[in-house]
Structure 1
Amino acid sequence: MILSAVVGSHAYGLATAASDTDRRGVYVAPTESFWRFEKPPSSVDGPLDEQVTWEVEHFCLLALKGNPTVLEVLVSDRIEVCTAIGAELRDLLPAFLSERVAVSYERATAQQLTRATSAVEPKWKQVMHALRLLMVCRDLLATGGLLIDMTANRAALLAVRSGEVPLAECLTWADRLRADIATTPRAVPAVPDTRRVEDWLISVRRRNLDAHHPS
């Protein structure tokens, strides 16, 4: 394990007494394990409830695509494990950020809203998180920085979660955020810095091998 952080509502500033503690992390499989027919798993569930850990290469590939859940690990201020290599990974955040986040966040938002509105009763928690994702995406594209703390919007978002805001109003809010995303000038590059990330990953593999086979 090189990095583990609490994400979800606790990291967003939206936690309530009923909120689970979601943990996401990154581990480095031994370099030699990739030489075998049976490769290391790309992710591992547990051992704690609501905990998922990605192998570092898989994590990087997801982050380069702008996966919202993965990127949160790099900016959460609720860090539980962070080795020197984990700190290097967090420092790589700018290399992962690009206009691809618009597509990834929009896809995640559409999935959230579809699940939330297809039930007999709206799933208000998912509606809230869809709005949160759109707000994060809008600000990321406009500023170039990934900020997930929603404390400033806590009251409005928790009102959505509790069902106090009519669904039609929530969907109108989502449409406004999408319009902002579509028209805002981009403060991020068109594509991520894949070479920088790949060079770092290679260095991690080499250092891991050297650690097991010192000269």
Structure 2
Amino acid sequence: MRPETLVRDHTIYACVMGSRAFGLATEDSDTDRRGVFLAPTALFWRFEKPPTHVEGPAEEQFGWELERFCELALRANPNILECLHSPFVEYVDDTGRELLALREAFLSRRAHGTFTRYALGQRGKLEATVRAHGTPRWKHAMHLLRLLMSSRDLLRSGALTLDVGDQREPLLAVKRGEVSWPEIESWMNRLANEADEAALRSPLPAEPDHRRVEDFLVRVRRASALQPDPYDEVVQGVVDGRGVG
């Protein structure tokens, strides 16, 4: 089965991410689309497994196979967790709604470590750019500040909110280069310290609910195996025992 077919025919959840989801969109902002597809169970019975992710087929579009998506979410991958909380859902079926109902099961204090490591990596790149060119890439600086805010607020409240609300204009000022790099560094340091403090008293559990997520995945895989797509010759052949090729 071609990767684009998996996205076209087996997507269970699709949303808009990036600046539009964060409340930071301007006239020149792209529309970043992310999604989750459920590869038919019978495809895993072959030597050649379905892809764990697919880039495209449209521009600025990226999707993950459900199992890979859940694995990354359980590890508190920032990009994956934020996908589950996008305010702009473009498509969701019954399985996708079950996935969204599990959002809280993925959240844990692990997010402090993963968000911090990601932020440190991005900050290192910004600092290298400043050393080489005298100024950072302002758009990247804006998004790093937003990520640090999101991390702090998640640890404080136990809820992940993407829209920056009343921080939109201060952050867009960073994007326009109206805030000096030393001011940005100070802002980053303050947000990181606030996240560290919030982690000590966070209402989040220490670990995500692996069992609940695994039960969902097993149930979905079983249902897919029992109800193969009648229009997919490859899957139907495997399920019926006719083989492939």
**C-alpha RMSD over aligned residues:** 1.3
Q: How does 1:107-146 map to 2 (within 5 A)?
A: 107-119=117-129, 120=133, 121-146=135-160
Structure 1 ranges of 4+ moved more than 6 A: none
Which amino acid in structure 2 is aligned with residue 193 of structure 1? D
Q: How does 1:1-215 map to 2 (within 5 A)?
A: 1-119=11-129, 120=133, 121-184=135-198, 185-212=201-228
Q: Cα distance, 1:111 vs. partner? A: 2.1
Q: Cα distance, 1:108 vs. partner? A: 1.6
TM-score w.r.t. structure 2 length? 0.85
Decide whether the 8 Å contact of 1:14 with 1:151 is kept in 2.
no
Decide whether the 8 Å contact of 1:112 with 1:129 is kept in 2.
no
Aligned partner of residue 118 in structure 1, secondary structure = helix
Aligned partner of residue 58 in structure 2, secondary structure = coil
Which amino acid in structure 2 is aligned with residue 177 of structure 1? L
Which amino acid in structure 1 is aligned with residue 209 of structure 2? D
Q: Cα distance, 1:115 vs. partner? A: 2.0
Unaligned runs of 5+ in 1: none
Q: Cα distance, 1:203 vs. partner? A: 0.6
Aligned partner of residue 227 in structure 2, secondary structure = helix
Q: Cα distance, 1:6 vs. partner? A: 0.3
Which amino acid in structure 1 is aligned with residue 158 of structure 2? G
TM-score w.r.t. structure 1 length? 0.96
Aligned partner of residue 146 in structure 1, secondary structure = coil
Q: Cα distance, 1:152 vs. partner? A: 1.6
Deviates more, 1:68-77 or 1:110-119: 110-119
Provide the rounded CA distance (Å) in 1 between the counterparts of 2:166 and 2:99. 28
Q: Cα distance, 1:75 vs. partner? A: 1.0
Decide whether the 8 Å contact of 1:68 with 1:105 is kept in 2.
yes
Q: 1:7-60, CA deviations, whole angstroms, 9 ceiling, x for partnerless residues? A: 010000001111111011000001011111111100001011111000000000
| Paired positions, count | 214
Q: Cα distance, 1:202 vs. partner? A: 0.4
Q: State the percentage of identical aligned residues.
A: 47
Bigger Rg over Cα? 2
Q: Cα distance, 1:117 vs. partner? A: 2.7
Q: Cα distance, 1:207 vs. partner? A: 1.0
